[in-house]
Structure 1
């Protein structure tokens, strides 16, 4: 079963600030643990939404409207993701719970979503 651990953005990540060296080290250890267990498929961080483009489809069959970032609500923006391949939803939850606070300072939030296969 594929699951995506979606790392939500914060005001800090949207400002383009990189995590502290301590948090980077903790995330590297977490990613290595996922690799060693054979469950990590891919993991990537994303640029802030100031580099993003959104396409909205207000009319069925119509042309999309294009908006350039930055987008105002960082908590509805994604800062990164980890794709894992596990045997159950419970296993996915256990792996997600092991992730360090991805934003640090109690600002982190992740969302766990199953991927259609």
Structure 2
């Protein structure tokens, strides 16, 4: 089994569409999580607060610069994630296809390396 993060990436338009139907979204998301639990692959899930309430710490110069979010020419922002423990990337992708999101949103599927895969410092 391997852990995969299903990262929700939304645009201003898809986020607005989801907020317009927030009650329906919460219901379908609850059902999706229930399906993950029943399948025995659910590890966790969290949503993120509005990017305008966050900050960005930019290490592009000699001194880190902090700016209020959202930042730059961002076309997509992370909105939250589901963490699943599945047998393959293909299975993670099949779950990603079922995530309840609005048209225009994307789900990025990324494997979470195990502790034994992290390089040792000083090795």
Change (3 A) 1:48 1:19: farther
The Cα shift of 1:19 comes to 4.2
Q: Does 1:69 align with 2:75?
A: no
Structure 2 counterparts to residues 20-99 of structure 1, below 5 A: 20-59=22-61, 62-71=62-71, 72-75=73-76, 77-99=77-99
The TM-score, its normalising length taken from structure 2, stands at 0.77
Q: How many residues align structurally?
A: 110
The Cα shift of 1:67 comes to 1.4
CA RMSD, Structure 1 to Structure 2 (Å): 2.1
Structure 1: segments with no counterpart, 5+ residues? none
Q: Does 1:115 align with 2:112?
A: yes
Q: Deviations over 1:22-78 (max 9, x none)?
A: 22211111111011112111101111110111111114xx43111111335241x10
Q: Which structure's CA Rg is the greater one? A: 2
The secondary structure found in structure 1 opposite 2:113 is coil
The secondary structure found in structure 2 opposite 1:28 is helix
Change (3 A) 1:38 1:86: same
The TM-score, its normalising length taken from structure 1, stands at 0.81
Structure 2: segments with no counterpart, 5+ residues? 115-123
